[in-house]
Structure 1
């Protein structure tokens, strides 16, 4: 019986473990210091933090799209809370644990590196395994260049209690205007009256757009004659104009994104990242309708302001709080919360991924967005050789792939772990 070590017990780790136990005879050792099924996205969420995908897209079972909606007793069109989805993942893991018997072992420890025979643990132990699946989630968030070492600067909004400790009568600056900033704004205004305003600042000043209450059928644009990034942009815009609902076209494009991404030249990929990535993310990763309505109300009431531009400097006056130089001038904030998306490697690598890079067992992938992989998802070492028994799933595939952060794609990657490639 082959032993497979899965590093990480969040969504990707749970799905990988499930597929390996269901579709192979392998013994699986899941390495995770906390309870499997939480992870950053679902373990630290609050009840008002909703999934930004409909329940019908969130099944853990690739052969049963309605599994999550039935488990939750809801419509496939509903947007449930992330805490509910965390409970679902823990239920899925409990089910596979019950049926796997001694084929599943959970090591409540943190992985510190790879050895020739398996995975090294921070507690000094080792998990011996012939195959390793790295499922550690996103890189650390990007930090502004002006980041201060100050208690009123919150580098990680998901750290326990940090948002609740911000007084309700001080203005707050959110660095970033994506889904994390939306989550933070909802938390700051959810449980108590907040008299002071919240300002979100990002380079473009664009918030995520909003889902419709009922999904339209996806419409795939005609891409047969598209050979460049410019061709693809023209085709998508033309199809959106014909369809009358850009959401249907964005959703219809999703199955082709990895194929398009890998067909672009490195210069085209860089041009996309520089000019189109943020507008695309706003259209692709949308807010649930009720969240969008809440955000619109906050803006109408003047409680949330969104500005374009960057943070030029942050300084700490003796009286407390932070003075932030924005494009419109210097402003005082009682707290500054970093809500930026994932940073680039190697700087944003977590300790385990950094150990792989330092040891030459992995290398940084295209544009620093993740780790390099072969077409099957196996890690590529610093010497350019494929690490045949070391696999990567989840957000750290980005760069080599593009659409690799959402449950449907991670679910498919997990399933493919059980399919022999040679």
Structure 2
């Protein structure tokens, strides 16, 4: 059904890609975003040393033109380009769209006629697409209310304010922690060490400089979780490069996830999710080389375990009780991944939950949706005019945070009414 007015809430990568595809399908689109479209958390706050974690050849905004970003950036498909550059690309894509109405305001909820904005104004729409990105970051149980604890490393200026001569603790050892390490060491003047602590003490692994083609995997998606793990290990041993197997699994992941029982999904989340993330979401080769050098020099270390307590001594900083004992840090930076809903829902998604327009999805990883991507309300009914794309599909789906999958979700909006 073309020609309907669709409000897209969120102007990061998900929102820009959704807007582009809806316009292609003949809809009238209102994009609601308080900031400049195309930035978002991933690309709007990136510094020059933050690189994409995928090769340029995978990052086109156009599902019908895989080389679009490569030509725009005038680069090789195998390169890992700066994230800030990709943000400029998304802004350029958005600026070239014809007929979109940009409303630079914050969406606070839904009304019978559309979307409610901060201050009470309404945007009328026949349908709404929720494209608000990741949930808020998880916070450690021992989180203190103290200026030397930084709950959000992406807030402007907070990392620059950390003195270079105090030791820093990072809570989490994923890609956010890597970004923070790059920022804290970018000027070469940091004298004190950086420590990252996480339950397993595992960092993301690295891409190879030259990519291997994804393996063609004859996988039976009806297997149990235990059998799937055995199959993957056997295929990785045969292939000689586990990266080819991990990348070859990508088209199957949502079907595999959906075939697992709820108990198997919980087992995966408890025992296998972190090792999988380390293999699946990898560092650019240049970043991996730099991180290795920092570790060899003793400027960056990674520890396994948790944080038992954090207390504030009168002289400043924080005393942190780790499994190895109590240590003083001049700053503690939260680098944990997305938190669980409803607590981490935040802003617009939280408003949907509070009003019953949505319900928490499987395992608290996102919002609940049907097979088409329509939001399911607290009453268990599908909201026929409320769609969801991007990271908040996690739980109902598994592979839903990277540009290729979000691009496919956005493209599917063209045929959403069929």
Aligned twin of 2:301: 305
Task: Tell me, in whole angstroms, the C-alpha distance in 2 between the residues paired with 1:5 and 1:225.
Answer: 36
Is 2:222 aligned against 1:249?
A: no
Q: Name structure 1 gaps, 5 residues minimum.
A: none
Aligned twin of 1:196: 192
Residue 39 of structure 1: CA displacement?
A: 0.3
Is 2:416 aligned against 1:420?
A: yes
Residue 273 of structure 1: CA displacement?
A: 0.2
Task: Tell me, in whole angstroms, the C-alpha distance in 1 between the residues paired with 2:354 and 2:55.
Answer: 40
Contact 1:142/1:342, CA 8 A, preserved across alignment: yes
Aligned twin of 1:165: 161
Aligned twin of 2:30: 29
Aligned twin of 1:349: 345
Is 2:285 aligned against 1:268?
A: no
Q: How does 1:7-406 map to 2 (within 5 A)?
A: 7-24=9-26, 26-96=27-97, 100=98, 103-224=99-220, 227-406=223-402
> Aligned Cα RMSD in Å?
0.8
Residue 349 of structure 1: CA displacement?
A: 0.9
* Regions of 4+ moved over 4 Å: none
SS of residue matched to 1:106: strand
SS of residue matched to 1:78: coil
Q: TM-score, normalised on structure 2?
A: 0.99
Contact 2:6/2:29, CA 8 A, preserved across alignment: yes
Residue 222 of structure 1: CA displacement?
A: 2.5
Task: Tell me, in whole angstroms, the C-alpha distance in 1 between the residues paired with 2:200 and 2:235.
Answer: 25
Residue 123 of structure 1: CA displacement?
A: 2.5
Task: Tell me, in whole angstroms, the C-alpha distance in 2 between the residues paired with 1:405 and 1:227.
Answer: 25
Contact 2:362/2:368, CA 8 A, preserved across alignment: yes
Task: Tell me, in whole angstroms, the C-alpha distance in 1 between the residues paired with 2:381 and 2:200.
Answer: 39
> Structure 1 residues 18, 225: closer, same or farther in 2, change over 3 A?
closer
Residue 339 of structure 1: CA displacement?
A: 0.1
> Structure 1 residues 418, 156: closer, same or farther in 2, change over 3 A?
same
Contact 2:372/2:416, CA 8 A, preserved across alignment: no
Task: Tell me, in whole angstroms, the C-alpha distance in 1 between the residues paired with 2:216 and 2:397.
Answer: 20
Contact 1:376/1:421, CA 8 A, preserved across alignment: no
Contact 1:109/1:123, CA 8 A, preserved across alignment: no
Is 2:3 aligned against 1:4?
A: no
> CA offsets per residue over residues 272-309 of structure 1, 9 Å max, x none?
00000000000000000000000000000000000000
Contact 1:171/1:334, CA 8 A, preserved across alignment: yes
Residue 225 of structure 1: CA displacement?
A: 7.5
Contact 2:317/2:331, CA 8 A, preserved across alignment: yes
SS of residue matched to 2:135: coil
> CA offsets per residue over residues 243-288 of structure 1, 9 Å max, x none?
0000000000000000000000000000000000000000000000
Task: Tell me, in whole angstroms, the C-alpha distance in 2 between the residues paired with 1:225 and 1:398.
Answer: 19
SS of residue matched to 1:324: strand
Contact 1:37/1:86, CA 8 A, preserved across alignment: yes
Contact 2:221/2:256, CA 8 A, preserved across alignment: no
Residue 191 of structure 1: CA displacement?
A: 1.6
Residue 220 of structure 1: CA displacement?
A: 3.0
| Range with bigger deviation, 197-206 or 348-357 | 348-357
Task: Tell me, in whole angstroms, the C-alpha distance in 2 between the residues paired with 1:271 and 1:59.
Answer: 35
Q: Name structure 2 gaps, 5 residues minimum.
A: none
> Structure 1 residues 186, 375: closer, same or farther in 2, change over 3 A?
same
Aligned residue pair count: 416
